[in-house]
């Protein structure tokens, strides 16, 4: 029962199951931690130096809500080159999660519906509920592909937005060109906002990840520096879309997050000149290590991007466990995973993060093989 002071919306979501497992992992001795969704590599030295120089030179006050001009200009030039839209405006957000929050705050009225794809990033249902909206899930099991007929059937007069993530957390799925184009065209045809979470954009292992904004110039795109440059704790993201929508998002940021930390924005500007292809290639190899190690033991759709795998829980000795039961058994072996129900209305799978050192990943794969036996 809620405390009488608390808003009713607080009953619509629980604390993140991922955070609970982070706390558990901290108590285990030498755990094999395949739960953490952040790069294992450190922030590149040039970005660190830029942040230090910004701090030491006194760039420690509020930044403009929309971002420091040099970073804003650089991002705008990149977006203009990529999309060539006449009306596509950029601003700097307080992390990608902050960008998604202000996007939905600007778009969603109480009672509006937002379509998400199941499995989904854990934040999506919670942030929609915070805005008074209702999440409508479109099932993508078993292959994690988007069925446009299901999407069309899910759209109602209350549908305000479609929220899509490619490359995806937790599955590693990357939308095909047909899926991207079809979804973009459907959103435009039905006059529904399309919000594209592209935080893992560069982590696409088998070809570039396409943005729906290439086929629908009203798409609202949220990106960030956190995953690409190992800056998860620095809270630096950006968003772009039609200027009227972006102006509303800037207004909501002004009265919530205020701005992204100024020294971090100078670091982001420096980071844009850093080649991260070596790190992306290393993560492709980690993906391959997981797929080779689990092949024939687990039912696994090969992840095409991000740094997650989402295997189905195996049947052991004729008994079918849930994701939560399997993860509990894994924890007994000091292996930390995330159960599927954290990301889904189903609990048939579990998430692996392969954003770890190869030695730990090898230990994790061996432990998973043993658990399946």
Predicted confidence (pLDDT) per residue in 25-68, tens digit: 667 788 999 998 899 999 999 999 999 999 999 999 999 999 99
Report the pLDDT value the prediction gives residue 4, as an integer from 0 to 100. 86
Residue 105, pLDDT > 80, answer: yes
The CATH number linked to 316 is 3.90.1150.10
Residues with Cβ < 8 Å from 129, sequence gap 6 or more? 9, 12, 13, 135
Please indicate, yes or no, if residue 86 is contained in any of the structural domains. Answer: yes
Domain boundary among 211, 239, 271: 271
* Cβ-Cβ contacts under 8 Å for 88 (sequence gap 6 or more): 79, 80, 213, 217, 240, 241, 242, 243
Regarding beta strands 237-241 and 193-197, do their DSSP bridges make them parallel or antiparallel, or are they unpaired?
Answer: unpaired
> Scanning the structure block, which residue is given the tokens 């399309």?
194
The pLDDT value given to residue 29: 81
315 and 298, same structural domain?
yes
Tell me, yes or no, whether 223 and 340 share the same domain.
no
Query: Is-contact 96 197, C-beta < 8 A?
Result: yes
Q: Locate tokens 């009672």: which residue?
A: 111
Residue 1 maps to a domain: no
Task: Give the residue carrying structure tokens 């100024």.
Answer: 262
CA dist list (Å): 216 to 46, 106, 173, 314, 319? 36, 19, 21, 40, 47
Q: Examine the domain organization and report whether 206 and 151 are in the same domain.
A: yes
Domain boundary among 271, 301, 322: 271
- pLDDT score recorded for residue 305: 97
Q: List the domain range (segments joined by +) for residue 342.
A: 8-43+276-372
Last residue in a domain, options 271, 305, 332: 271
Is 324 in the same domain as 353? yes
Region 317-325 average pLDDT: 88
CB 307, CB 283: distance < 8 Å: yes
pLDDT value at residue 30: 84
Could you tell me if residue 3 is inside a domain? no
- Asked whether the predicted pLDDT for residue 318 surpasses 90, the reply is no
Q: In the predicted model, what is the mean pLDDT of the chain?
A: 94
Residue 125 is predicted with a pLDDT of 94
One domain for residues 245 and 179: yes
Mean pLDDT of 14-18: 63
Number of domains into which the chain is organized: 2
* CATH (domain of 201): 3.40.640.10
In a domain, residue 2? The reply is no
Give the residue with greater pLDDT, 14 vs 97. Answer: 97
> Quick one: average pLDDT of 264-290?
97
The pLDDT of residue 279 is 96
- In this structure, are 206 and 261 located in the same domain? yes
Looking at the fold, whether 39 and 49 belong to one and the same domain comes out as no
Average pLDDT over residues 313-334: 89
Give the chain as a 3 state SS string.
Answer: CCCCCCCHHHHHCCCCHHHHHHHHHHHCCCCEECCCCCCCCCCCHHHHHHHHHHHHCCCCCCCCCCCCHHHHHHHHHHHHHHHCCCCCEEEEECHHHHHHHHHHHHHCCCCCEEEEEECCCCHHHHHHHHCCCEEEEEECCCCCCCCHHHHHHHCCCCEEEEEEECCCCCCCCCCCHHHHHHHHHHHHHHCCEEEEECCCCCCECCCCCCCHHHCCCCCEEEEECCCCCCCHHHCCEEEEECHHHHHHHHHHHHCCCCCCCHHHHHHHHHHCCCCCHHHHHHHHHHHHHHHHHHCCCCCCCCCCECCEECCECCEECCEECCHHHHHHHHHHCCEECEEHHHCCCCCCEEEEECCCCHHHHHHHHHHHHHHHC
| 104 and 30 inside one domain | no
Is residue 12 domain-shared with residue 64, that is, in the same domain?
A: no
Q: What is the mean pLDDT of residues 138-161?
A: 98
pLDDT in the model for residue 18? 62
- pLDDT-derived band at 319, boundaries 50, 70, 90: confident
Q: How confident is the model at residue 16 (pLDDT cuts 50, 70, 90)?
A: low
Contact 350, 338 (CB under 8 A): yes
CB atoms within 10 A of CB 20: 13
- Within a domain: residue 310? yes
Q: What is the dihedral of CA 262, 82, 98, 235, to 10 degrees?
A: -40
pLDDT at 253 over 60: yes
Q: In the chain, what percentage of residues exceed pLDDT 70? A: 97
Note whether 54 and 39 are same-domain residues. Answer: no
Q: Which pLDDT does position 165 carry in this prediction?
A: 98
CB 144 within 8 A of CB 118: no
The residue ranking higher by pLDDT, 315 or 210, is 210
Note whether 78 and 222 are same-domain residues. yes
Same-domain pairing of 144 and 252: yes
Q: Is the pLDDT of residue 203 over 80?
A: yes
pLDDT at 137: 97
pLDDT in tens, 109-134: 999 999 999 999 999 999 999 999 99
């Amino acid at each position: 029962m809620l405390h009488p002071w608390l808003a009713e919306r607080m009953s619509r979501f629980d604390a993140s199951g991922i955070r609970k497992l982070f706390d558990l992992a901290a108590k285990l001795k030498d755990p094999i931690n395949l739960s953490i969704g952040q790069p294992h590599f450190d922030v590149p030295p040039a970005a660190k130096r830029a942040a230090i120089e910004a701090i030491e030179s006194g760039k420690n006050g509020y930044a403009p809500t929309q971002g420091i001009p040099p970073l804003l200009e650089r991002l705008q030039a990149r977006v203009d080159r990529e999309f060539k839209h006449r009306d596509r405006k950029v601003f700097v957000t307080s992390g990608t999660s902050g960008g998604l929050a202000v996007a939905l705050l600007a778009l969603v009225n109480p009672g509006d519906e937002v379509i998400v794809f199941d499995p989904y990033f854990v934040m999506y249902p919670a942030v929609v509920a915070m805005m008074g909206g209702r999440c409508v899930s479109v099932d993508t099991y078993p292959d994690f592909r988007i069925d446009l007929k299901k999407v069309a059937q899910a759209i109602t007069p209350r549908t305000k937005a479609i929220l899509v993530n490619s490359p995806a957390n937790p599955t590693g799925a990357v939308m095909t060109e047909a899926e991207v184009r079809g979804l973009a065209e459907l959103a435009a045809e039905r006059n529904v906002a399309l919000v594209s979470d592209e935080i893992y954009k560069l982590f696409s292992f088998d070809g570039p990840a396409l943005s729906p904004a290439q086929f629908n110039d009203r798409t609202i795109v949220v990106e960030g520096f956190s995953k690409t440059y190992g800056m998860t704790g620095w809270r630096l993201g950006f968003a772009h879309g039609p200027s009227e929508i972006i102006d509303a998002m800037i207004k909501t940021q002004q009265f919530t997050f205020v701005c992204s930390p100024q020294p971090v924005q100078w670091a982001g500007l420096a980071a844009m000149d850093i080649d991260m292809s070596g790190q992306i290639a290393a993560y492709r190899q980690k993906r391959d290590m997981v797929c080779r190690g689990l092949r024939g033991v687990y039912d696994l759709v090969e992840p095409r991007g991000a740094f997650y795998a989402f295997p189905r829980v195996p049947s052991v000795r004729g008994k079918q466990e849930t994701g939560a039961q399997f993860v509990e058994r894994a924890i007994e072996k000091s292996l930390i995973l995330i159960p599927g129900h954290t990301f889904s209305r189903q609990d048939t799978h579990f998430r692996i993060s392969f954003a770890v050192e190869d030695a730990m990943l090898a230990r994790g794969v061996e432990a998973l093989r043993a658990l399946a036996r």
